[in-house]
Each structure stands twice: as structure tokens, then as C-alpha cells.
Structure 1
């Protein structure tokens, strides 16, 4: 904690100095500095300051920034609250504090969809522009990301926590606290490893066949994953699953990608036969042996290295009624389980 105290003391002093030089408030200075880090990390496409606090229908409404137009961010609506505390010793916050801040942010998102709320905002104000952007782009939104930026210390999980749905659109929250910023400054590492628990968080463990021999450098498995399960996983972590995939930005361009998309839309029953080449790596996997054979229970630091287009398209165009579409997945255990 001493390191965090020193880091926060230095940070608050730098923010104070930058604020005096620029003429911006300390809160605005902190937002600009930390939001630029989020842009560099790929957490958001861009960051626009939009400070508003008020009430609507008896509920507290608040927003401090938005992460760009969802139409330019693969359908992700990123909205931000920002809390800066000027004291040298860092403040501690808990899950209830975070939940309260995110609740106010959700109220702004929900209010922005109502004409009467937008009509009560000051015309041509920044907050009115953000509310109009949310309303006009809502049909393009596939996921809502709530982000808290703060120099307080939050001890619980901070990355891609599922927080329900708004209008059937999945919501996650991400907390960038003092500890996370300190990790970035000292080691460049800010993100927690992705841990996909297929059984506890996504319905069921995945039946698997061992595809490696004793003594092989890597343990390999062949698995068939339901398309709906894969889509749920992608909805939670999004493009983070594809950081090791050099083709993650191809989207639906080119004949192969268009073919994948068209099969999902027009011939879902043939999808497994046509597209069964999804490959992934993991630092480690938890394997259970049951009467039916092997099952993959969870995977740590899962990365889809081939088949990213399949994953993205499946998430965006899943057939109605929860139709199941198969995929083959080869997961390599690159490190021994503890």
C-alpha cells in the first residue's frame, strides 16, 4: 500500500500542476490524462468529456464522458463516470460505491432514449449532444460498457463484469482504479487475464477429446462449442478474445467472410459442415473426467487465434429461438495447472 500511497501523492500533485498550467479543472485534467490511457489500451475508441449530473423521474442521473460513436466501435456504447480525489492518501471504495455510480450512469443511458428527458436538457449542450447520440445510435448498439475512472482503490474484480441487460443489450462494467493505473505505470499491465468458466458462467462444461500424446510440449483438445455459448462469451469480452488474431479486423469483407456471414443467416444447419476451423490457445485449462469422457471446465487467458470472423459474426447475427450451431475448438494448454 505504501507504493500506492506514493503513486497517488505524485499523481495528485501532477494533476494539480497540470490544472494550474492549462486552466482546466483538476477533475477535467484527470479525465483527459486517464482517458488517453484507455484509448491507448484499446478499452475505448476515443474519449469525449461530457459532464452532467441531475435528476429524472426521481432518479439521479450522471455521466462524465462517452467513448465515441457506437457505430464506429463495433456497436459498443461506452459511457464513463470519473471520480478524482485530491487528497494525497488514496480513498478506498467498495462494490456498493461502484454500483451506485454505475446506477446513475445507467439512468442517463435509459433517460437518453426518452424524448422528454432530452427535451429537458439545455439545447446545444454537450450532454444534450451525448443523449441524442445514444438515442439515434441505439439500434446499432450491441453491447453497453460502463466504465469508472478513479484514483480511489477498489479491491474487487475490475474487468468485464457482467451487469445484466438494458433493452436486451448486454451490459458490462470496468473499473480503472488507482491500483490498475499503478500497474500500468510500473509494468504496462492493466488487464486481468480472461478466465472463461464454461460450466459456472456459460451454462455447461464442453465435451472434449484429447488430441495430443503423452510428452507433447502442449496439451491439445478437440471440442464442439454451441454457437450460442460462444456468442455469450464474445458478448462479455468482445475483441479482447481476438488480441492474438492478426485477422481480427477483417469483419465481413472478402469472399470467405461474406460466406461465413451468409451461412449463419441463410443456412444455419450447414454452419458446422462449412466452418469448423475455430482454433484457440489458453495459458491453462481445467479438465474434468466424467463417465462420458473429458470435459473442459474453464480456460485461462483464452485467445481465439483462428476463426475470429466466425466468432464476431455469430455474436452479431445469432438466429432467434436460441438455435445451436457447432464449432470445433482446439485449445492448447501452454502452462501446467497449479
Structure 2
């Protein structure tokens, strides 16, 4: 078949020919107990970790940074459970993208995060955190996906002397990560040596724990009692003297846990106060290590016509349905 990429000559025939050569899709759908996206900068050890998990060299590993360009899915058994590891291409700084391949690698990382239940953010213990590490942490944060910060090559860093002459310890490195990656300050940290297989199993167990946290649902009654107790102890402060009120709240979804507060004036709930609420949620609710999506909205017309006694008489399902009313298509609009 003669084709021309420049003029698109016989382009459709070419694509039809490729389509006919593709194998028929398998009707059997294999469900996974967990999907993990393994993200990190170039040569952080992502493919080495996948190989350690799968028990065989399923992904080519090279000492040359950036060997893997595309995202590779590897399914393996972890005890009696099935895990799919999504190994993404290594990334470098955005401004150094030289061609479409590098841009595509960044896009694949975002898509891998979207497909995953839990994100494993690999950082190289032998190097300082880079702009790429921070960019990937931001991607994980904005996705509201549970994230484990995985410090790889820890066997090469622990006990060594850093450039300032101080011996590297686990506690000091954890403080360093908390300071640099504040958007993931609640995320657990796992120290491992993927090449040696050290702490690999414990890291996957931790990912399962986060997945369970994110799938947990809190009853509407418990949530309303807790939120009202917070408001009585410390409500939002404002210079106009307007008192903030929460008419009702509900958890409307899981993965991530999404909590809607229906209030008298959303403007009273400043970003600082929302962070305070999220911190209190993590202290008292079963979401201490996973992202929580918080939506604060005013009452709609129907809700304004109801008194508190009528709301209290509603079932949990009815309150949840009311909380979902007037939700925007893009709930991200409520968040920084």
C-alpha cells in the first residue's frame, strides 16, 4: 500500500488495514483488587520496582535514564489478591522537553494517575528532590488519589554523609520530605530498596490500606454530630459579625471521600478554615492518610423552605441526595 504522511494519501485505507490486523478483544474482563500508578523522575527505580513485584524482568531496566517511554501495565498476584502496576515513563523538567515524545511521557503520567486506585511516588534517596518530583507530587495531590511517598535506594543513602556533612537518618529525611512536599503532608512514607527487594511487600500492603481508607463511608449522623461539635468549639472568624451555620452535611461518595457541607454563607469558610476542617477530619475520621474532597455550598430554594426538624427527620439516603443537589460538574472548582 502506497501512502503519503504529508498529504494523507491513502491514510484511511492504511488505518483500516491496521485495524483488521488487530486481535479480537477478549470478552473476559479480569478485575483487579488494586491498581497502582508508579510515578517518578528518570532513573528513580520505577521499572526495577515493577520487576521486583512481578518476580520477573517484565520491564526493560537500563542504567541509562529514561529507558521506558510509555506506560506499561503489569498484572501480578500478591498473596490471594491481584494487583496491576502501571509503570510510567520517567520525566524531566518541563522546560527541557525537546520533542513530542517527552511531552507524551508527561501526559501518560497524568493518565496513569487517573486510572490508578493508589499512587506510588518514587523519589531517589541518593539525590535531592527536584522540580520534577514536586510536579509529580502536585499531579498526585490534584488527582485526590491516595499516595505513598516511596523513598527508593534507601540502602545507598542511610548512614552516608550529605553535602552539609550531616549523617543521613530516616527521621531527618522524613522531616525533609514533609517540608518540601507539603501538599502531601498526610501521605505515608515508605523507605525501600527495590533492587534488593527490601520493604517492597510492606509498601504494597500500605497501598492496600490506603485504598481501604479511601473506600470507607462515614454515616451521616456521625458526620453531622462531629461537624457541629467542631463549629461549636471553633467556628470561622469574620470581621462582620456574621455567624457561620452548617445546616447539614453528608459524605456523598468515596474514592476520594467527598464531604458536602450545606451552609448559610460559603464565603465565611475561608481556605484556612477549610484546611482546619480537613485536619480535624483526619484526626477523628478514618481518613488520616488519604485526600479528602470538601465541598461547601449554600442552600438551594428547596432547602431554604425546610426547617431543622424536617431535615433531621430525613433518612440518610435522602440527606445524601440533597447534599448532591446543585453540585457542579467539576467539583475541582471548589478547591485550590
Scaled by the length of structure 2, the TM-score of the pair is 0.30
Q: Which has the higher strand share?
A: 1
Scaled by the length of structure 1, the TM-score of the pair is 0.30
Give the number of the structure whose alpha-carbon radius of gyration is greater.
2
